[in-house]
Amino acid sequence: MFSLSASLVSVPDFMNIAKNCTFVDIGHSAQFLPEDGPSRLPRAPKRKRPQQFWQAFDDKALFYDCFWHIDGERVLLIGPPALNLQTHFDAAQFVANPSGQVLSPRFEPTRSMLWTEFRNVPKGTTDIGLKFAGLDFAIPVQPNQADNFAGTNLILTMNKNNALDWILHWLDWHVKLHSANAVLIFDNGSDAYSNEDLKAAIAAVDGITTAAIVSWPYSYGPFDPAVLFHPHWANFLQMASINMAFRRLAAQANAILNCDVDELVGREGTTNVFDAARQSPDGLVTLKGQWVESAVSEDEKAFPAHLGYRYRHRNPLRAICANKWCLDPSRDWLSPLSVMPNVHRIYGVPKTMGRNAPTNPFWHFKAINTNWKTNRRQGDESVSRHHRRLDSLDRAVESYLVAD
C-alpha cells in the first residue's frame, strides 16, 4: 500500500512551503474597438442564434497582443479574425513610433485568428501607431521573452477558477512523471482566489523553477449552433493564447506540453513526453485521450484531486476524447506564421503529420471541472455497471506515487 502523505504535498500546508520558483512578469497590449465604433459580425450573421451566443461573442477585440518576434526584426500583432472588418484592415495605416516609419502589414488569417506581421521594423520602436476606421490607436510593442523559458519543459494552459489543489496536484504529476519544470498559465479572469494565491500554489510544487501567469480576462467565446462545421470557431481567445505563447514566450523551450488542469499525461516506457517530442522525427507527440468519469470507488475515496477517479464509460467509443500535443518548437517546419498550434492539432500542416507522430496517453477527468463550459461534472457517482476500470491509469498512478 502506497503512502499518500509521503508522495503528495498536502493542500493545507502548501501556502507555507517556499520553493525556488521564478515568476516572469508578462504584459500584453490588448486593443478594443469603442462601443460606438464598428463591431465584428459572426460568420453567416443573418442566421438565428440564441441570446447566449451574442452575450459571449467578442465583437470588439481588435488585438490581444503586440510583440517583437524572436528574430528582433519583425513585430507581430495577434487578434480575432477580421470577418466583416476586413475592409477596415485593408485601409488601416500603421506607423512605427517614435521613428514615424510607415509599415506595410502582411496578414495571415484563419477562421479563429489573425496575425498581422511587420518586417524590418526600426530598432527602438516602442509602439505601433494605427489609424483604423477613423480611430487612432497607439499599441505598445511588448518584448519577446522566450529567453525566460529557454531549455525548459514547459506546460501551457488556460485557467479560470480551477481549485488550487487541482492545480497543485496537476503540476506535481507532470513534474514527477515527465520532469516538467516550467508552467505558463493564461488566467481568464479567475475570481475565486487572488493572483498571489495562484502563485503560492505553483511555488509549492517542488521542481517548478519558472512560471508565468498572464492576465487574460477577455471573452473566451461561444459555441456557435448556427455553424455546422467547426462550431467552436468563435473561441478566439484560446487560439490566440496558444499562438502568442508559441511565438513570444516558448520558442526556446525544450518542448511545450499543451495540457489543461483536468488532464493528466501518461508515459510510454521510461521516456517522458518532453523528451519524446525532442526525439520524434518531426518534434511532435500526439496525445491520445480517454474521458475519466466522475465515478469513485470506496478504495479511492481517500485519494486527492484527480487520483480518486479511475473509471471510463463501458462503451469505449464514449471514452475517447480529442487529441492534444507536445511539441519541440525548434523545428524548421514551425517557422511560417501559417503554422498555428491550436487546442487539438497543429494547423497549417498536413493532418498526416499528427497521425504519423508517436503517441502518448492522457486522461481527461470530468470531475476536475467547474462546469464553466459544459456540465461535465454533476456530482460524484458510485461505480456501476456503466463503468470500466482504467488499468492504464492505475499503473500511471502507481508510478506517480513511488516517484521521487
The pLDDT value recorded for residue 371 is: 66
Mean pLDDT of 94-106: 98
User: Which is more confidently placed, 316 or 374?
Assistant: 316
Q: Is residue 82 part of a domain?
A: yes
Contacts of 371 (CB under 8 A, 6+ apart): 377
The pLDDT value recorded for residue 268 is: 82
Closest to 296 (Cα-Cα) out of 288, 285, 304: 304
Domain residue limits at 334: 146-402
Please report where in the chains the cell 485601409 appears, as a residue. 91
Q: How far apart are CA 210 and CA 24, in angstroms?
A: 7
What are the b/e assignments for 200-233, b being 16+ CB within 10 Å? bbbbbbbbbebbbbbebebbbbbbbeebeeeebb
CATH number of the CATH domain containing 135: 2.60.40
Q: Is residue 12 part of a domain?
A: no
Q: Is residue 4 part of a domain?
A: no
Residue ending a domain, choose from 120, 140, 160:
140
Mean pLDDT of 92-109: 97
Q: Which set of grid coordinates corresponds to residue 396?
A: 500511471
Distances (CA, A) of 300 to 29, 264, 307: 46, 17, 8
The pLDDT value recorded for residue 382 is: 75
Mean pLDDT computed over every residue of the chain: 92
178 shares a domain with 117 = no
Mean pLDDT of 163-173: 96
Q: Is residue 383 part of a domain?
A: yes
CB 325 within 8 A of CB 354: yes
64 shares a domain with 198 = no
CB 45 within 8 A of CB 234: no
210 shares a domain with 98 = no
pLDDT value at 298 more than 60: yes
96 pLDDT band, cuts 50/70/90, is very high
Four-residue CA torsion sign, 10, 14, 17, 18: positive
The pLDDT value recorded for residue 269 is: 85
CATH number of the CATH domain containing 305: 3.90.550
Per residue in 177-234, pLDDT (tens digit) is 999 999 999 999 999 999 999 999 999 999 999 999 999 999 999 999 999 999 999 9
Residue ending a domain, choose from 119, 140, 161:
140
DSSP annotation of 112 reads S
Residue ending a domain, choose from 107, 140, 173:
140
Mean pLDDT of 74-94: 98
126 shares a domain with 79 = yes
262 pLDDT band, cuts 50/70/90, is very high
Q: What is the per-residue DSSP string for 223-243?
A: --TT-SS-TTTT-HHHHHHHH
The pLDDT value recorded for residue 180 is: 98
Q: Which set of grid coordinates corresponds to residue 278?
A: 525532442
pLDDT value at 66 more than 70: yes
Q: Is residue 16 part of a domain?
A: no
The pLDDT value recorded for residue 374 is: 55
197 shares a domain with 87 = no
User: Which is more confidently placed, 346 or 2?
Assistant: 346
The pLDDT value recorded for residue 2 is: 33
Domains of the chain: total: 2
Q: How far apart are CA 264 and CA 260, in angstroms?
A: 8
Residue 37, number of CB atoms within 10 A of its CB? 14
Q: Is residue 72 part of a domain?
A: yes
pLDDT value at 172 more than 80: yes
Please tell me the least confidently modeled range out of 16-20, 57-61, 345-349: 16-20
CB 283 within 8 A of CB 330: yes
The pLDDT value recorded for residue 376 is: 57
Q: How far apart are CA 321 and CA 101, in angstroms?
A: 49
Largest CA distance in the chain: 70
Mean pLDDT of 105-124: 96
pLDDT value at 290 more than 90: yes
The pLDDT value recorded for residue 373 is: 55
Q: How far apart are CA 73 and CA 364, in angstroms?
A: 41
Distances (CA, A) of 52 to 97, 223, 349, 384: 41, 9, 34, 35
182 shares a domain with 42 = no
The fraction of the chain above a pLDDT of 90, given in percent, is 86
Q: Is residue 95 part of a domain?
A: yes
Amino acid in the structure at residue 13: D
The pLDDT value recorded for residue 9 is: 47
131 shares a domain with 99 = yes
240 shares a domain with 327 = yes
44 shares a domain with 190 = no
Mean pLDDT of 31-38: 96
160 shares a domain with 92 = no
pLDDT value at 7 more than 70: no
Per residue in 350-366, pLDDT (tens digit) is 999 999 999 999 999 99
Q: Is residue 18 part of a domain?
A: no
The pLDDT value recorded for residue 270 is: 87
**How many CA atoms are closer than 13 Å to the CA of 187, on its beta-carbon side?**
24
265 pLDDT band, cuts 50/70/90, is very high
99 shares a domain with 224 = no
Q: Which set of grid coordinates corresponds to residue 127?
A: 509602439
The pLDDT value recorded for residue 372 is: 55
Strand pairing partners for 67? Answer: 76, 142
What are the b/e assignments for 266-305, b being 16+ CB within 10 Å? bbeeebbbbbbbbebebbbbbbebbbbbbbbeeebeebeb
CB 201 within 8 A of CB 14: yes
pLDDT value at 123 more than 90: yes
246 shares a domain with 382 = yes
Q: How far apart are CA 342 and CA 237, in angstroms?
A: 11
The pLDDT value recorded for residue 167 is: 97
